């Protein structure tokens, strides 16, 4: 049941409408701690380290104000998703973009995100969960989805949006 | 020619997010540009939305947005844009525009961009192989996966054993000699592994990683109880389907889920497969295996010729397809039981189709198009290398005349090889393994059987085929590459 798969991964308690952290590492830790409180991960610091190791391989700042850090670790008990927003943005080193170099404002924008999805997955995640994450990745490409994420007034509204958009039909 | 059809592959190291974002970005940008696109995602769920050989052939250009190595052999001769998934996410429209430019350049300068007839022919051989591979399904696919992992062990083992015999047929019996060492590597190790590897990778193909342990353990048991490669195939299928069933149906509480892959699945599957091999399958399959081996070893020359005819017909019938592979797998499997004559027959019969066709383009040039004549040059090499698929482009153009001809040649070759009792210890390699001492028992006679089959094939195909009306056929042949 796909609907349950979304609820399996994310709940109101792993949605942070205004992150306290303005830096990448702290934001990841903040979201990891949410997941630790929910029991999805047993060590928020270890999960943060895993996510940062992934960042070191290549930034998960995908542009468009979105970052999707992900951690694959033994410290993750079950696949889980945490979502955080921050109006003032979170500093997040991104990949250099050729046409942004000329414009310092654009260059700064490239290195800031306001939507963060932390994906925590155990070493062996089930296909159901991977499909939901794939659907999330696909949905983020669409501007209307990002706008809706930015403007949802409550955690409940975010959750409803995710359920509506990430339902996997295949 | 404007860009109309695109295919793309996306892939990233973790396979969780970027693969799919890149796919979505490309689909979206293509839809906005009014271009049809099919995006294959190679993520952690496995490959999805897989591009078929037909779709690859019909595409005007290919985009590969990947941070991992992606095999490109499906797209030989196509304009390819290579980029990272990040490029695709940030600038999908730009990649599509680039693909459009490449496709236009290819269309505008056909002389430069269209592959030569030689590359075209190799590409059509590769495409035929790829489309067969993607069409493989179910048990056959699993069996072929096992066979493909097994072959290197058989090649290494067979040739090393043959090399040990180069010191004299009993040289290996003397401890401490190089001959003994070679025999130890080849016979006692490489050959001891090949049935377990076959079984293990059949099971791996079915159930992924959980299948490997029960498959390999069952395969080793098969050799120990004397059930040979037949027992190995059975062990692979039992182990694979059992592991798959367990992984899919048993749901433990979350706290115990971590125990499934490391403890429960390997223990239970190996136990069940092991007991089944020892108490149920072992004895009857051993009887079948020994019966088959004894029969093949003590076969009268009449039966040998009949078996050779059948194997030869099978090898040429579908040129590398399931019927061909059935005969081939049979012969390779028998190497485990020290039966070497079918291997010789099967390899010879797999070489004569391309060789015979290559010869035919020389002796009856009027009956082949200029493309086929050029392809004939490459067919020599493919034939010598025992790549039967080299005959496919000829057979595809004129199946009802070409296939009976190559079946005739292959049947005669295989029957001769069986009648002479020629033994071959290497399962592949064509002429390139033959110079190694003792790989083949009677080299001159073996070369003779291959030459006879080649000549027969060439004569029959030259008789059956009609002279070509050059212009008409040329158009028909070049059309697909221009599309």
Q: Is B88 part of the contact surface with chain A (CB cutoff 8 Å)?
A: no
Q: Is B286 part of the contact surface with chain A (CB cutoff 8 Å)?
A: no
* Residue A135 pLDDT exceeds 60: yes
What are the pLDDT digits (tens) for B247-293? 888 877 767 777 777 788 899 999 999 999 999 888 888 888 888 88
B186 vs B408, more confident: B408
Alpha carbons B119 and B78: distance in angstroms, whole number: 12
Residues B271 and B312 grouped into a single domain? no
Which residues are bridge partners to B424 per DSSP?
B440
In percent, the amount of chain A with pLDDT more than 90 equals: 38
What are the pLDDT digits (tens) for B433-455? 888 888 888 999 999 999 999 99
Burial of B462 (0-12, 13-18, 19+ CB in 10 A): buried
- Residue B150 domain-assigned (yes or no): yes
Residues B346 and B321 grouped into a single domain? yes
Residues B280 and B313 grouped into a single domain? no
Distances (CA, A) of B321 to B327, B362, B389: 10, 27, 9
Contact yes or no for B350/B417 (Cβ under 8 A): no
Instruction: Provide the residue ranges of all domains of chain A, joining segments of one domain with +.
Output: 2-166
Residues of A in contact with B28 (CB under 8 A): 141-142
Last residue of a domain, one of B293, B312, B347: B293
Count CB neighbours of B260 within 10 A.
Answer: 17
Residues B82 and B219 grouped into a single domain? no
Residues of B in contact with A133 (CB under 8 A): 16-17, 20
In percent, the amount of chain B with pLDDT more than 90 equals: 32
Contact yes or no for A158/A108 (Cβ under 8 A): no
Residues of A in contact with B45 (CB under 8 A): 127, 130-131, 134
pLDDT of residue A106: 59
Chain B residue closest in CA terms to A61: B86
Chain A residues with CB-CB distance to B under 8 A? 54, 57-58, 60, 62-63, 68, 70, 72, 77-78, 95, 97, 119, 121-122, 124-125, 127, 130-131, 133-142
- Residue B474 domain-assigned (yes or no): yes
Residues B224 and B338 grouped into a single domain? no
Burial of B192 (0-12, 13-18, 19+ CB in 10 A): middle
Residues B148 and B239 grouped into a single domain? yes
Residues of B in contact with A77 (CB under 8 A): 254
Query: Could A135 and B16 be called an inter-chain contact, meaning their C-beta atoms sit closer than 8 Å?
Result: no
Least confident of A118-122, B212-216, B298-302, B474-478: B474-478
Q: At what angle do helices B228-249 and B138-165 cross, to 10 degrees?
A: 140
pLDDT of residue B217: 96
- Residue B404 domain-assigned (yes or no): yes
- Residue B110 domain-assigned (yes or no): yes
Residues B284 and B404 grouped into a single domain? no
Interface test with A, best of B16, B65, B67, B258 (most A CBs within 10 A): B16
Distances (CA, A) of A47 to A75, A118, B455: 7, 10, 69
What are the pLDDT digits (tens) for B421-434? 999 988 887 888 88
Q: Which of A70, A121, A134 sits opposite B20 (nearest CB)?
A: A134
How many separate helices (H) and strands (E) can be counted in chain B?
A: 22, 5
All residues at 6 or more sequence positions from B75 whose CB lies less than 8 Å from its CB, including other chains: B7, B56, B59, B62
Q: Domain range spanning residue B169?
A: 138-293
Which residues are bridge partners to B82 per DSSP?
B64
Distance of residue A17 Cα from the nearest chain B Cα, in angstroms: 22
Structure token pair of residue B358: 């290559």
* Element holding B297 (H helix, E strand): helix B282-297
* Residue A8 pLDDT exceeds 90: no
Query: Could B17 and A95 be called an inter-chain contact, meaning their C-beta atoms sit closer than 8 Å?
Result: no
Residues of A in contact with B67 (CB under 8 A): 58
Query: Could A134 and B18 be called an inter-chain contact, meaning their C-beta atoms sit closer than 8 Å?
Result: no
Distances (CA, A) of A6 to A74, A132, B46, B180, B388: 22, 7, 21, 62, 51
- Residue B332 domain-assigned (yes or no): yes
Residue B417 catalytic? Answer: no
* Residue A98 pLDDT exceeds 70: no
Residues B161 and B231 grouped into a single domain? yes
Whether the full predicted model's pTM is greater than 0.80, yes or no, is no
- How do beta strands A15-16 and A80-91 pair? parallel
Residues B50 and B174 grouped into a single domain? no
* Residue A18 pLDDT exceeds 60: yes
Last residue of a domain, one of B270, B293, B316: B293
pLDDT of residue A100: 43
Alpha carbons A152 and B74: distance in angstroms, whole number: 45
Residues B336 and B287 grouped into a single domain? no
Positive or negative torsion for Cα B95, B98, B100, B103: negative
* Residue B341 pLDDT exceeds 80: yes
Query: Could B16 and A131 be called an inter-chain contact, meaning their C-beta atoms sit closer than 8 Å?
Result: no
pLDDT of residue A83: 95
Q: Is B24 part of the contact surface with chain A (CB cutoff 8 Å)?
A: yes
Write down the CATH number for the domain with range A2-166: 3.40.930.10
Alpha carbons B127 and B75: distance in angstroms, whole number: 9
Q: What are the start-end ranges of the H helices in chain A?
A: 2-9, 24-37, 44-57, 104-110, 127-140, 143-151, 155-166
Last residue of a domain, one of B274, B293, B312: B293
Across B295-302, average pLDDT: 80
Q: What is the ipTM of this complex?
A: 0.79
**How many domains are there within chain B?**
3
Mean pLDDT of chain B: 84
Alpha carbons B95 and B92: distance in angstroms, whole number: 5
- Residue B124 domain-assigned (yes or no): no
């Amino acid at each position: 049941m796909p609907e349950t798969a979304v609820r399996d991964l994310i709940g109101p308690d792993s949605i942070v409408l205004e992150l306290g952290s303005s830096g990448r590492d702290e934001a990841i830790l903040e979201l990891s701690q949410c997941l630790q409180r929910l029991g999805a991960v047993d060590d928020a610091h270890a999960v943060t380290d895993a996510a940062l190791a992934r960042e070191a391989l290549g930034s998960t700042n995908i542009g468009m104000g979105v970052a999707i850090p992900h951690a694959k670790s033994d410290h993750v008990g079950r696949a889980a998703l945490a979502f955080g927003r921050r109006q003032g943005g979170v500093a997040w080193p991104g990949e250099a973009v050729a046409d942004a170099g000329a414009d310092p404002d654009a260059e700064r924008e490239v290195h800031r995100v306001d939507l963060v999805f932390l994906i925590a997955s155990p070493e062996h995640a089930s296909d159901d969960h991977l499909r939901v994450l794939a659907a999330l990745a696909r949905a983020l490409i669409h501007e209307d989805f990002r706008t809706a994420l930015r403007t949802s007034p409550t955690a409940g509204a975010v959750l409803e949006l995710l359920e509506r958009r990430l339902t996997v039909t295949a | 020619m404007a860009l109309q059809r695109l295919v793309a592959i996306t892939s990233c190291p973790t396979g969780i997010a970027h693969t799919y974002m890149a796919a979505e970005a490309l689909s979206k940008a293509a839809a906005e540009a009014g271009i049809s696109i099919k995006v294959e995602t190679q993520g952690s769920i496995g490959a999805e939305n897989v591009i078929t050989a037909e779709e690859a052939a019909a595409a005007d250009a290919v985009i590969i947005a990947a941070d991992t190595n992606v095999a490109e052999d499906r797209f030989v001769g196509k304009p390819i844009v290579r980029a990272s998934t990040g490029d695709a996410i940030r600038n999908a429209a730009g990649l599509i525009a680039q693909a459009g430019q490449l496709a236009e350049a290819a269309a505008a300068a056909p002389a430069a961009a269209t592959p030569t007839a030689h590359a075209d022919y190799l590409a059509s051989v590769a495409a035929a192989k790829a489309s067969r591979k993607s069409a493989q399904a179910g048990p056959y696919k699993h069996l072929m996966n096992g066979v493909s992992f097994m072959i290197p062990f058989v090649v290494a083992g067979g040739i090393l054993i043959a090399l040990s015999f180069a010191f004299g047929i009993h040289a290996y019996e003397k401890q401490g000699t190089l001959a003994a060492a070679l025999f130890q590597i080849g016979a006692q190790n490489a050959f001891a592994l090949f049935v377990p590897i076959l079984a293990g990778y059949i099971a791996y193909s079915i159930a992924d990683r959980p299948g490997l342990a029960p498959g390999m353990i069952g395969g080793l048991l098969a050799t120990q109880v004397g059930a040979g490669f037949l027992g190995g195939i059975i062990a692979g299928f039992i182990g694979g389907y059992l592991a798959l069933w367990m992984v899919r149906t048993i749901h433990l509480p979350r706290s115990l889920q971590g125990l499934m892959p490391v403890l429960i699945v390997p223990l239970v599957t190996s136990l069940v497969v092991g007991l089944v091999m020892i108490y149920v399958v072992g004895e009857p399959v051993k009887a079948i295996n020994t019966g088959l081996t004894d029969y093949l070893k003590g076969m009268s020359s009449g039966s040998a010729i009949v078996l050779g005819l059948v194997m030869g017909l099978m090898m040429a019938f579908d040129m590398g397809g399931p019927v061909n592979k059935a005969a081939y797998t049979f012969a390779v499997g028998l190497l485990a039981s020290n039966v070497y004559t079918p291997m010789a027959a099967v390899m010879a019969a797999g070489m004569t189709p391309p060789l015979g066709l290559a010869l035919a383009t020389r002796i009856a040039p009027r009956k082949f198009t200029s493309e086929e004549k050029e392809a004939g040059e490459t067919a020599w090499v493919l034939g010598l290398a025992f790549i039967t698929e080299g005959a496919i482009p000829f057979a595809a153009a004129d199946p009802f005349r070409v296939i009976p001809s190559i079946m005739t040649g292959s049947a005669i070759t295989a029957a001769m090889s069986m009648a002479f009792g020629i033994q071959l210890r290497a399962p592949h390699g064509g002429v390139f393994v033959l110079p190694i001492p003792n790989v083949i028992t009677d080299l001159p006679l073996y070369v003779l059987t291959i030459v006879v089959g080649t000549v027969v094939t060439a004569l029959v195909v030259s008789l059956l085929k009609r002279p070509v009306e050059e212009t008409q056929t040329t158009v028909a042949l070049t059309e697909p590459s221009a599309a």
